[in-house]
A and B are shown apart, each in its own frame.
Chain A
Amino acid sequence: DTGVSQNPRHKITKRGQNVTFRCDPISEHNRLYWYRQTLGQGPEFLTYFQNEAQLEKSRLLSDRFSAERPKGSFSTLEIQRTEQGDSAMYLCASSLAGRRGGVGEQYFGPGTRLTVT
């Protein structure tokens, strides 16, 4: 178990550029979540996948944001035409959801810190 990994750890970009982040979950986990954390705030939910299906998107996820999990393994989060307000820590988490429901513990990655200049 190598844990959840995220790349890059830091990204500095100019306003208007596109950026893409990657998340590699724990291998047997079927759920993958993206959260955004701004300075002085707790993480806020953006979207989640069960296997390769994107099941929910927050209204925080504007049209400039897109997330994929093509083979039910790693996931990417892309932000197009970045704005200064997109500067934040982007956290990925994964969990194992059982067929009978219940709550699977979410394991978090170290995050990708985005700075838009």
Chain B
Amino acid sequence: AQSVTQLDSQVPVFEEAPVELRCNYSSSVSVYLFWYVQYPNQGLQLLLKYLSGSTLVKGINGFEAEFNKSQTSFHLRKPSVHISDTAEYFCAVTPFTGGGNKLTFGTGTQLKVEL
């Protein structure tokens, strides 16, 4: 079984400041990792994913994440945030094999960008 921990339930940040949203996972098997964003009253949109290769992954809207296997972490970063980045962000994992690629999500981090 897998579990995902998002340590911060809310992260307030000023516009144009950098931000890091933390994600740690636990799994007895190798996993793929994802970050999703959810705007109010909308479904989830994929920001980025780590499948293999370079541990630094770039996604949409200027976000990037770094996979650290030894620390079982997959933190999300953006060097300069915009008001429009205000949303809920979810980290998720799925095992390499088996389980039909069902996703296990963390509890989410609410990013609030202020002027």
> Which A residues fall within an 8 A CB radius of B?
4, 31, 33, 35, 40-45, 48, 50, 55-56, 91, 93, 95, 97, 101, 103-111
- Rounded to whole angstroms, the CA-CA distance of A40 and B6 in the bound complex is 12
Specify which chain B residues have a CB less than 8 angstroms from the CB of A103 in the assembled complex: 32, 49, 51, 94, 101
Q: Which 9 A-B pairs have the closest CB atoms?
A: A42-B105, A108-B43, A108-B44, A45-B102, A110-B43, A48-B100, A43-B105, A103-B32, A42-B90
Specify which chain B residues have a CB less than 8 angstroms from the CB of A93 in the assembled complex: 44
- Rounded to whole angstroms, the CA-CA distance of A35 and B43 in the bound complex is 11
Q: A105-B49, A108-B43, A110-B41 are in contact. Are A56 and B100 (CB under 8 A)?
A: yes
Instruction: Decide if B42 is an interface residue (CB 8 Å cutoff).
Output: yes
A57 → chain B, closest Cβ, in Å? 11
Interface flags for B31-49 (1: CB within 8 Å of A; 0: not) read 0100010000111111001
A97 with B107: CB separation less than 8 A? no
> Which B residues fall within an 8 A CB radius of A?
4, 9, 32, 36, 41-46, 49, 51, 90, 92, 94, 97, 99-108
Known: A33-B102, A40-B108, A104-B101. 16 other contacts (CB 8 A): A31-B100, A33-B103, A41-B107, A41-B108, A42-B92, A42-B107, A42-B108, A43-B44, A48-B102, A56-B102, A91-B44, A93-B44, A103-B32, A103-B49, A108-B36, A111-B43
Specify which chain B residues have a CB less than 8 angstroms from the CB of A41 in the assembled complex: 107-108
